[in-house]
Chain A
């Protein structure tokens, strides 16, 4: 079939709205996007090749630096994969503290994603409000782990620092404030007529399309696939009685609302953890041994899998990482952008699927 294509418009790699370099090539007819392709390759560092032959204390930091935004979950999945290889037990207190830090990290990542979306649709007021709330979450992360972004908190057999009583009190007080503000901003987003006009019905990803594109994380859950949440299969989350939330619309609005809901859910999870936090040791020791395994966890953007093979001294012989963003980028450029969005909505739709180029290319 003959197609009439007016012009092919590239967006990026340096683009005012995108924090990271990626190029979206849109074939357009007038205002309408016929198809889109994402061109990657600006961030390839070869992390998996560097990791080979190194002990865990070096690979742990490399794994964290696969993605700076969701660094805690990379750390957690890598360490838990090592633990499952060599059957290292984790003390109860440490397991719950891991969940606390992981959920704080998820909160800041989701709030940042929503900030990017608000910034992209030029609703800077709400964006700045969200960024201000995010600073509170970062404060809590810093109080517990001692660093804002790459925390290096989780080690084999436990965590590095204990949660002090005064920090727990501070965390509870701050969580109440964050919950109140997030609820208010969710209301602003939900009811603000300008925001809804710009987001509802744009970049629709139907449930079937989401399944075809193997979408994961909030992108998939906004299209009505709650079963994609890997937290359902994590023992600590199962103990906490975690049930994922989902929405049905599958448009930009649903994806952003999904993240707001998950932030509130994370707050509830952290509260449950703090309530049930037992006394006890935080480190059990244990040296990783030989073996190989595949292990998955739920990153803020979706399912994250590590395949690891270690030798008897705990050195990583072979490693393969599958990050969630690659599926979401696929879903975004082949399903959301196609034929639906006008050129003005390309950047906001792309941002709403929360692509993380650094973890896609590693």
Chain B
């Protein structure tokens, strides 16, 4: 890997675009992701820009327990994100299905069955600080040696 690529990857890892997708949660994790935007936690000071456009995202935050409405849609959303990309599971729902993982429920957890999940943030819901540290921990990993891994 050339020095230029290394510099490029380092610079890109300082400016992360985050998209989030709600595949059937209770909204609790959604608003905690929103709370990360607030001036108290201020996710943008770390160079992380949260918006909801998968086409330009580097990190996808998956929230929720995978309901039938998202069959194939989540996969196609994941395919639309350009490489390099990682997905982070926020909250218990994508990890285990949380309290909804009971007989007769419609959900199909874990989300890792459907798209590759790189990191998990347990908690129902996790605190904004926990989400923030997870995103910060994943940010250097996304671009590291990307060209080498691609080959």
Whether A and B are associated in the same complex: the answer reads yes
- A-side residues, CB < 8 A to B, are 13-21, 41-47, 49-50, 58, 61-62, 64-69, 71, 112, 115, 128, 131-132, 134-135, 138, 148-150, 356, 358-359
Q: Is B1 an interface residue (CB 8 A)?
A: no
B137 on interface, CB distance cutoff 8 Å: no
Name the CB-closest residue of A to B44.
A128
Task: Count CB-based A-B contacts (< 8 Å).
Answer: 128
The residue from B54, B65, B73 contacting A45, defined by CB atoms under 8 A apart: B65
From A14, A135, A150, A359, name the one whose CB has the most chain B CB atoms within 10 angstroms: A14
Size of chain B's interface in residues, with CB distance under 8 A? 43
Chain A contacts of B25 at CB under 8 A? 43, 68, 358
Given A14-B77, A65-B98, also A148-B106 (CB < 8 A): no
Q: Is B125 in contact with A149, judged by CB distance below 8 angstroms? A: yes
Nearest CB in chain B: distance from A144 CB, A:
17
Task: Determine the main DSSP class of A at the interface with B.
Answer: loop
In contact, A45 and B106 (Cβ under 8 angstroms): yes
B residues sitting closer than 8 Å to A (CB atoms) are 19, 21-32, 34-35, 37-40, 51-54, 64-65, 67-70, 73, 77, 98-100, 102-107, 124-125, 127
Interface centre among B64, B99, B107 (most CB of A within 10 A): B99
Q: What are 9 contact pairs spanning A and B, CB under 8 A? A: A14-B19, A19-B31, A50-B103, A62-B99, A68-B25, A128-B37, A135-B39, A150-B124, A358-B26
B106 touches A134 (CB 8 A): no
CA A17 to CA B107, docked complex, whole Å? 25
A-side contacts of B100, CB under 8 Å:
45, 47, 50, 62, 65
B38 contacts A68, CB within 8 Å?
no
Q: In the complex the two chains form, is A42's CB within 8 Å of B67's CB?
A: yes
- Complex formed: what's the CA distance from A131 to B43 in Å? 13
Q: In the complex, are the beta carbons of B104 and A43 less than 8 A apart? A: no
Q: Return the contact of A46 from the options B30, B69, B106 (Cβ within 8 A).
A: B106
Given contacts A21-B21, A50-B100, 12 further A-B contacts (CB under 8 A): A16-B51, A42-B22, A43-B22, A43-B24, A43-B67, A44-B67, A44-B106, A50-B99, A58-B99, A68-B125, A128-B39, A135-B35
C-alpha spacing A43/B127, complex, angstroms: 22
**Cα distance A1–B115 in the bound complex, in angstroms:** 48
